[in-house]
Chains A and B, each alone.
Chain A
Amino acid sequence: MGKYIVRRLLQMIPVILGATFLIYAMVFALPGDPTAGKCGERPCPPAYVAKFREEHNLNDPLLVQYGKYLGKLAQGDLGTSFYGIPVKEELAKRYVTTGKLALMAVAWETLIGIFAGVLAGIRKGKFIDNLVLVSTLLVISIPVFVIGATLQMFLGVRMGLFPVTVSSQATFYELLLPSFVLASASVAYIARLTRANMVENLRADYVRTAIAKGLTRRRAVGLHTLRNSLIPVVTYIGVDIGALLGGAIVTERIFNIQGVGGFLFRSIGARDGVAVVGTVTALVVVYLFANLLVDLLYGVLDPRISHD
């Protein structure tokens, strides 16, 4: 187990290097001038442009720029964005909001997704099963910006049940609706995944054994079948946490949430190379750790999988 974790951590190094270099190269190759629009209606004075380019190493060749960036990165410095804000500080602030949003989205997924999936699975072919299948299909096929804007319009603006935008405090109540919107597609996937696994496992021999042991149906289904059916579901949720922690560009924009996704989006628009690379590096690291966690969790959930 310990050896496995060390090996996985070591494997992260080339992945992080590769990912940061790719992003760095792509930002480098982007057309456009980062100083454009920095000085109001007129072009910036040449002296300012020269100073700006010097400060951000923009005159160096790609590999030198990247090398200098890596040097700082190794010291835990994500650099200063073109707007003069340290990327690390900005991310730290925004990760609180993104983390809250992701956590609440996962709560929706787990509660509604698994509940609906189990219900549909044990009543296969019945009304509730068809209801779940049709409604999840609907949710999966509608893009998230449509779901988000529609719910915001009806539940927020018209009925006034939920706040329409999220303040910088990002309270629990404010995030209820956005996190639901963010979770909607995953709720549908999880419901379907749970249902499929329940249906399959209910036919399994060990469930027949559980019945033959004289266990109550509640125990045979709710413990023996569900425990096995949740293995792939938990894996999916784990991977999804990694994705959610990467920020939600669309949902954050609809509800004006000050999260990581919005920051990344704005930085790309502003050709803010340092901020983009810094953010993506953080996202890659978070995603890698989420994946490692999922793999470790898999070993805990399914004793047949060994990490030795």
Chain B
Amino acid sequence: MKNSPGAGVINWQNSKRQRGAFAGRIVEDAMNGLALLMLVIAATLGAVPSTAQTLEPEDLTVEVLPNDVSRDHWVWLTDYVLGLYGKAVLIDTDSGDVKGAVDTGWEPMKVEQSRKRSEIYAIRVFLERGFRGKRTDVFTVFDTNTLNPIADIEIPPKRLSGFGTMAHSGLTSDERFLLSYNFTPASSVAVINLESRAYIDEIEIAGCALIYPTGDRQFFSLCGDGSALVVNLNDQGGELSRVEAPDIFDPDVDPVFEKAVTGNGLWYFPSFSGDLYVVERKGDTVALKEIWSLLDKAAKEGLWKPGGFQPFAFHEGKGLLYILMHQGDEDTHKELGEEVWVYDVVEKKRVSKILLKVMAGSIEVSQDDAPVLYTAALFDPNLQIYDALSGSHRRTITEAAFTPTVIQSVRPLQ
């Protein structure tokens, strides 16, 4: 049966006039009841407040996020929702308010943020019958003011399934292309043109994994033998050339985390044992710029190590590298951290330690001049907020997500 206001089921697509009629009926009934109640009160008390105002009927509205407010301390927090269908939650960490959310599909990875357009992007996976059936992968564009999906383009169903990292997708610097990591278990990179919102093709990267963009037409992937595979793109998003950059690291001696961070044209890869590998672009390839230790003698003796789910963050303007630290033996690279150590990457020295109020697996830092540090853990629904310079704890945002994984600072439009 088609719903009608008279049937007592509200169809919010009805015209305002119909809603007004329905609301009017409700108000009329309510007013009759109210009048009766007032009479009873008057009879009881012998007086009616002379200043009583009749409440006006209301229309239900949908929020739209304004453009003219600072989003410097807003984050997208990916909620893995127990490894089922997840979402990215938008949170204003100054007020502590959740501003909205977008659905990011089965085993969600992360979102990509445009700095040119009021858009974010997600590669989403859906199963035909919820938990079974034909798999469909889509590239989705969300409007960052309405949070509505405004484009949904089917792509080959090859996106990696599992836990997300910041390296599972990336944008070219000019934001012409979105790159998304495929694993079937053959590894490749899907290329999507953001300007035409069209899937271009995939580029195979056999033996290598993940995506580290290095300019308008280049990215590299890390390979199982410790090299990097550099792919140069043409203006159509196809492969122009590929270069193997050997000997970036030795995965058998000291593996680097694949959870790297970038800033000022460099990629920073901490290793399991606590060295920092810095990778830079060199024309059509990349090279290891330098390695320096994050640990002094006391730290090594104390068995301090980097580790976690998203254990690194970088403040580009201040050149500060934030590293989640714990004490542990070999193979503790996914332990929760209890401290965040802050490094000046120009001076190559530690400048501060932040003692966390709550142990964390994921960290992120805002990019403004008064930055805040965000921390979360997979088992903990709360998001913690710290002053990223003084280290003081600012607030706890409760019930931020069922299963927090990736934290991403909202990047302002340029």
Do A and B come together as binding partners?
Answer: no
Q: Residues on B close to A: CB < 8 A? A: none
